[in-house]
Amino acid sequence: MNDGSQMEARTLSRKSCYSGECVETTVPYILSSDFDLVLLRFSGVKGRDECMPEPSQILTIAATGASGAAFTRALLLAAERDQRIKHVNFIVSDNALRVFAEELSIKGRNNLVQQILGGKAKKIQQQNNDDIGANIASGSYPAGAMIILPCSMGTLARIANGLASNLLDRAADVCLKEKRPLVLCTRETPLNRIHIRNMDLAALAGATIYPLIPTFYNRPAGLDEMAHQFACRVLAFIGLPQPDAYEWKG
Ligand SMILES: Cc1cc2nc3c(=O)[nH]c(=O)nc-3n(C[C@H](O)[C@H](O)[C@H](O)COP(=O)(O)O)c2cc1C
């Protein structure tokens, strides 16, 4: 950003608790004249302030109309399996339904989670994207991180510009204002300058741009393994390392 705004690097000390253990952590942030407080890295923080619930017990997962439905499925499956996650609020845009139909042969929106997972989910609750009064629309609801996978350029644009016109956008907006982790798994290629500028804006407001780019060095056998390893990486990023994640040994 070269618009004359002043950026100053500082650190912020906070007491964090995770599984009953409290630690003092120092979080780097920048102060800018355009944005109040921008955390540079969430992953150094293992938990939120005392009296707050552990961050990852309630997760928000959203899917938008970008390509990559198999990656949404892999993330939902991993979240369903992870016992540290107690509840998942799942939001799907109308355009994501279209992509689900193309890529996963899913029909309509009835029993959507069951259709995606191929079985009943215990803790994934689908939220209506038109319901702006749902729990995650409010900062008072103790939600943890939010992962948007895949994140279309349209949704990125709305989040970066604070439109909050549906539940998905509003839940992301709430994450930013409450300084909660917001992970945008953006998917588009090539990128135009509007996309790049919106990624910059969202990152400056505190979101993490986590492009939907799988790893190849683990030699995945197919799409499902690629998607599963990507889901493992995203979950590890918000503080939930997965037991079967591939680890590069060097
Ligand atoms: C099969 C299919 C694949 C698409 N892939 C992408 C994509 O990878 N990235 C993207 O930004 N938009 C993609 N789009 C276009 C979006 O769906 C479209 O811009 C939509 O308005 C996004 O709406 P949403 O962000 O509310 O879900 C795709 C559309 C279709 C039908």
| Same domain for 71 and 150 | yes
Residue nearest to atom 25 of ligand 1 (CA): 155
Look at residue 249 and tell me if it is in a domain: no
| Same domain for 85 and 15 | no
Q: Provide the percentage of residues in the chain whose pLDDT is more than 70.
A: 78
Look at residue 203 and tell me if it is in a domain: yes
Number of domains in the chain: 2
| Same domain for 175 and 116 | yes
Q: According to the model, what pLDDT value does residue 109 have? A: 85
Q: Mean pLDDT in each 10-residue stretch from start to end of the chain (250 residues)?
A: 47 47 48 41 40 67 98 98 97 98 93 96 97 97 97 98 97 98 98 98 98 97 98 97 95
- Segments forming the whole domain that contains residue 209: 53-237
136 close to 60: Cβ distance less than 8 angstroms: yes
| Same domain for 8 and 124 | no
CA distance 63 to 94: 10
pLDDT digits (tens, 9 = 90+) for 69-114: 999 999 999 999 999 999 999 999 999 999 999 999 999 888 999 9
At 31, the amino acid letter reads L
Look at residue 247 and tell me if it is in a domain: no
CA distances from residue 219 to 65, 72, 193, 249 in whole angstroms, order as listed: 28, 21, 33, 14
Predicted TM-score of the model (pTM): 0.83
Look at residue 248 and tell me if it is in a domain: no
From the CB of 188, is ligand 1 less than 6 Å away? Answer: yes
Residue nearest to atom 18 of ligand 1 (CA): 65
| Same domain for 34 and 109 | no
| Same domain for 188 and 116 | yes
For residue 156, which atom of ligand 1 is closest to its CA?
25
